[in-house]
Amino acid sequence: MNLKQLKDMELTLFHYVIGALALIMLIWNTVEVGRNDAANIVNAVFGARVMTRRKAVWLAGIAVVVGAMASSPVMETARKGIFDPTTLPGIDAAIAVYMGVYLTNTVMLYSFSAYGMPVSTTACLVFALLGSGLAIGGVDAINWDKSQTVILGIICSIIVSGIAGFLIQRVFRGVVRDQCEDPKTISLHGPWMAGALMTGLVYFMLMKGMKNIAFVKAIKASTLDVVGVPIALLLIWASLSFLTFLALKFLGQRFATRLFGSMAILGMICTGIAFGQNDLANCASPGLAIWMILSKGELAGKVAVPLFALFGCGVLLLMGMTTRTAQRVTRAEVNTGSQGDLVRLYAPKWCVAVARVLVPKPGTDQALAPKTSVQDAAKLQHYDALRAAVITSVTGSVIAVASGLGLPVSTTYVAFSAVVATGWADKIFVRGDAALKMGRTIWVVFCWFFSAFIAAAVAGLAAKAIALWGLGGLALGLIVNMIIRYVMRKRADEHEVSMKEQAIIRKQKLAEASGRNDQFASDEDEEAL
């Protein structure tokens, strides 16, 4: 019996229990996605001290909710693009696949978040679907062409984000150096630079990310299709640059000093919208697939997701963003790309050893980014406003393009790539804890690959257990999930204490060796939400 023949099938107690659990797991997984991916949205704005983390989270959260209500193309890819559920032997097999994905993702995302690791929720979803699909349906159940396209899209998004972030930051930094808040410098260069960033956001967010919306289609037909994309972009850039010039002219120095900070906030809002569009698929698609199987007996057609359901998922993402473990992810990511000399971070010894080979020797090169002030330790910046603006603009644009193409790319990969690339452009890896920051980068990238393959293996085992033992297998999976969560939470808390103690020891040794008493780049560890 295949899924196309299920409409008249009588549902059992197992199916009703699964239906209830699917809803619970959807809610649970959505919170976990918000918990881990929070750093990807707010890290630059918070790290630049443009906004407090609390304000940044709530503003970004509103943008996430808006984006979540336009996530359908990506959701369809995540729901049935990776494998073909109609090839499975029956309803229980399909359910086993999707529940295996949920059991795996909820525990993996929580575990990485507890350690402050920005892991890719998208990669976890894709590889969990691959692993569970292979375990239940074999190689014939996998849509290999589509899977390759998705994986290639993820890889390309990393490369594009890194290259774009590096080039834009190097050009902008070469123009303004460390004078990104100097009124005279901003009055001269701010209009065309801000205009360029806004042009990219307008084009990629609207014309690519929201190309299926009626009014966007109308704008495209009346402008881009008439004059061509290059001419249209030049006109948009000229118009936005002129408006920025007028704003600087009439609002004066106060606006000039906040121009790039304002651009960073705008980029964060766009990133939040793009995040909601793209990453909602990581939360909702398995649960929606189960509900469609149970309610309609098929999975071939498109899911008409109610607007209130999309809104609710967006709110759940916001809830995850406000958790304590989400703060750990934010803190770790902003410290990794920090312009400050001394940071609180952890990286394995082998990663630091490799990093020492990659980073320039101290004193051989000069950083382009301004060095953070130590006058007020509570206000130390990880990034300056210029770099924050580039990070958020590049991240939002790349994710928006992927969403418009229906590709579930990794917000984590894109954002982290932009952070590291802009750091390379600013030559931040030439001073202070450069080897530790680069070592952390290596560790994060290693964990990306590690998490993907672990997700595939664990999801395959979980799906197989559910397929063989029904409710017994599901109960076993839930018990193992909760045990791992408990152990990881306890060990992660101990890790936090150890990491801070080691950082203090490093600071003391530096002070004894050099006579300097450098401050840590502030991370507001205990900031209340």
pLDDT by residue (tens digit) across 414-449?
A: 999 999 999 888 888 877 788 899 999 999 999 988
The band of 147, judged by pLDDT with boundaries at 50, 70 and 90, is confident
**Rounded mean pLDDT, 236-257:** 90
Residue 378: is its pLDDT beyond 70? no
The DSSP code sequence of 322-345 is TSHHHHHHHHHHHHHT-SSSB---
**Rounded mean pLDDT, 207-225:** 73
The DSSP code sequence of 203-248 is IIIIIIITTTSHHHHHHHHHTHHHH-HHHHHHHHHHHHHHHHHHHH
Contact (CB, 8 A) for 124 and 104:
yes
Question: What is the tens place of the pLDDT at every residue in 170-184?
Answer: 999 989 887 877 888
Question: What is the tens place of the pLDDT at every residue in 23-51?
Answer: 899 899 888 888 887 667 888 898 888 88
pTM of the entire predicted model? 0.88
Beta carbons within 8 Å of 96's beta carbon, 6+ residues apart: 132, 136, 463, 464, 466, 467, 473
The DSSP code sequence of 99-153 is HHHHHHHHHHHHHHHHTT----HHHHHHHHHHHHHHHHH-GGGB-HHHHHHHHHH
Q: Return the top range by mean pLDDT from 90-99, 162-171, 432-441.
A: 162-171
DSSP state at residue 10: P
Residue 524: is its pLDDT beyond 60? no
pLDDT the model gives residue 511:
72
pLDDT the model gives residue 481:
94
Question: What is the tens place of the pLDDT at every residue in 101-146?
Answer: 999 999 999 999 999 888 888 888 889 989 998 999 888 888 888 7
- Print burial letters for 359-393: b (CB count within 10 Å at least 16), e (below 16): beeeeeeebbbbebebeeeeebbbbbbbbbbbbbb
Beta carbons within 8 Å of 23's beta carbon, 6+ residues apart: 287, 291
Backbone angles phi, psi at 431, to 5 degrees: -150, 160
The band of 460, judged by pLDDT with boundaries at 50, 70 and 90, is very high
Tokens of 261: 């900070």
**Rounded mean pLDDT, 219-230:** 77
> In the chain, what are the domain boundaries?
3-514
Contact (CB, 8 A) for 369 and 48:
no
pLDDT the model gives residue 363:
59
Nearest to 396, CA basis, from 271, 212, 512, 242:
271
pLDDT the model gives residue 373:
46
**Rounded mean pLDDT, 362-389:** 67
Cα–Cα distance between 89 and 83 in angstroms, integer? 14
Burial zone of 495 (CB within 10 Å; 0-12 exposed, 13-18 middle, 19+ buried): middle
In degrees, rounded to 5, the angle at the alpha carbon of residue 278 between the alpha carbons of residues 167 and 162 is 15
Nearest to 70, CA basis, from 248, 277, 257:
277
Residue 454: is its pLDDT beyond 90? yes
The DSSP code sequence of 348-372 is -HHHHHHHHHHSPPTTSS---SPPP
Tokens of 58: 């709530």
H/E stretch holding 437 reads helix 434-469
Q: 3-state secondary structure string, 261-305?
A: HHHHHHHHHHHHHHHHHHHHHHHHHHHHHHHHHHHHCCCCCCCCC
Amino acid symbol at 327: Q
Backbone angles phi, psi at 323, to 5 degrees: -80, 165
357: number of Cβ within 10 Å: 8
pLDDT the model gives residue 405:
74
Tokens of 157: 């998004």
Residue 527: is its pLDDT beyond 50? no
Tokens of 423: 């750091």
H/E stretch holding 60 reads helix 53-68
pLDDT the model gives residue 87:
78
Helix (H, G, I), strand (E, B) or coil at 55: helix
**Rounded mean pLDDT, 479-487:** 95
H/E stretch holding 469 reads helix 434-469
